[in-house]
Amino acid sequence: MFERPASGENAVLVQLDFGEGDFAERLSEFNLLVGSAGARSLAVISGKRARPDPALFAGKGKVAEIGDAVGLHQADVVIFNHELSPGQQRNLERTLECRVVDRSSLILDIFALRAKSHEGKLQVELAQLQHLATRLVRGWTHLERQKGGIGLRGPGEKQLETDRRLLGKRVSLLKDRLKQLERQREVRRRARTRGEVLAISLVGYTNAGKSTLFNALTRAGAYAADQLFATLDTTSRRLFIEGAGPIVLSDTVGFIRDLPHALVAAFQATLEETAQADLLLHVVDSASADRDQQMAAVGAVLEEIGALDVPQILVWNKVDLTAASPGIERDDCGNISCVRLSARTGAGVSLLREALAEVASRHDEIPAAAA
């Protein structure tokens, strides 16, 4: 796994207000993302705009302010909590004379740091290459010349064209390898279906506590930490539920607002496990002031991967940090819609087991989506 320098990188952060609301929550999440990437935030530049500037995203005056901060703090990188076009990114780097990273690149970088399994690394590399394909010209002035010199003379193909061709070959190779892994997963899925074992997936916003809950239910010892994207690789365990028999429980990658499309596409095969599940446990950080927006972001990703219609039970996690008490809530039809618990303390986990037993005992009557 790629390691960050122990000292980290000095960063100037940029977040502009385009009237979307939740500015403070977005900024707090942005700081967590930057920390997860191993950078140090030395300054935050903010401001209000009606719309992004076509050339520099932030406008000349704001970019000058960013440049002053870069010089003052000797920053290594400027990180935007926004999606930049290739042209905007290139113009900003030329103006600031500093590396510029947007939100998508930041998230992809964190995924590259956290990927551990062979498949996870392949998926992250594919997403990075697909993202890079639109940005090959960024700052590479030498690519504007024909290859030349001893050992470099060739048929006249420009270096940029060579790089694009090699990148395309690598992307094709990665897709082929991931398809092989997908076929292997499909074989396992069919075997599980033949055994009529209930398949349940944990989904939710990053850092909502999915892996902690997974460990509380299965004692699997999956990595869990108070950080964004602690889990990238899907982990599945067979779990015995008293009175209902075995089920298969899967822990999945956490979602986040504005998740890069390249990342969703690269992880499509893994995320399809979620769409193929019989039931989703949508884990929510009930202590977060931003929980409604986080739930909406999860719903958007579920819709993108075709899993929005999979039945859900909300798991209201971290009640130990709120005034709520563990319990089970039901809808007007008497079906379980929500379970309140604390995965960290274990309070209410037994109630979730009871809820899963009820669902498993009437596999063909799983309640309608509750999120």
Chain centre distance of CA 35: 15
- The tens digit of pLDDT for each residue in 69-92 reads 999 999 999 999 999 999 999 999
Residue 360 counted as an annotated binding residue: no
Residue 335 counted as an annotated binding residue: no
- The tens digit of pLDDT for each residue in 278-296 reads 899 999 999 998 899 999 9
Closest CA to 198 of 245, 253, 157: 245
Residues 56 and 64: their CA atoms lie apart, in Å, by 11
> In 219-290, where does DSSP find H-type helix?
261-266, 268-275
Residue 31 counted as an annotated binding residue: no
Residue 121 in any domain: the answer is no
Residue 296 counted as an annotated binding residue: no
Residue 347 counted as an annotated binding residue: no
Residue 318 counted as an annotated binding residue: yes
Q: How many domains is the chain built from?
A: 2
Which tokens go with 204?
């939710």
Residue 60 counted as an annotated binding residue: no
Residue 230 counted as an annotated binding residue: yes
Closest CA to 58 of 24, 25, 92, 28: 92
Range of the domain at 79: 9-101
Residue 342 counted as an annotated binding residue: yes
Query: Regarding predicted confidence, which is higher, 338 or 109?
Result: 338
Residue 49 in any domain: the answer is yes
- The percent of residues above 70 in pLDDT, for the chain, comes to 81
Residue 168 counted as an annotated binding residue: no
Instruction: Please check whether residues 201 and 350 belong to one and the same domain.
Output: yes
- The tens digit of pLDDT for each residue in 181-240 reads 878 777 766 665 555 678 899 999 988 999 899 999 988 655 555 556 666 667 788 888
Instruction: Please check whether residues 56 and 200 belong to one and the same domain.
Output: no
Helix axes 118-132, 159-194, angle to 10 degrees: 140
Residue 343 counted as an annotated binding residue: yes
Residue 211 counted as an annotated binding residue: yes
Instruction: Please check whether residues 75 and 223 belong to one and the same domain.
Output: no
Residue 209 counted as an annotated binding residue: yes
Residues 64 and 355: their CA atoms lie apart, in Å, by 57
Residues 145 and 128: their CA atoms lie apart, in Å, by 26
Residues 120 and 137: their CA atoms lie apart, in Å, by 27
Instruction: Please check whether residues 222 and 356 belong to one and the same domain.
Output: yes
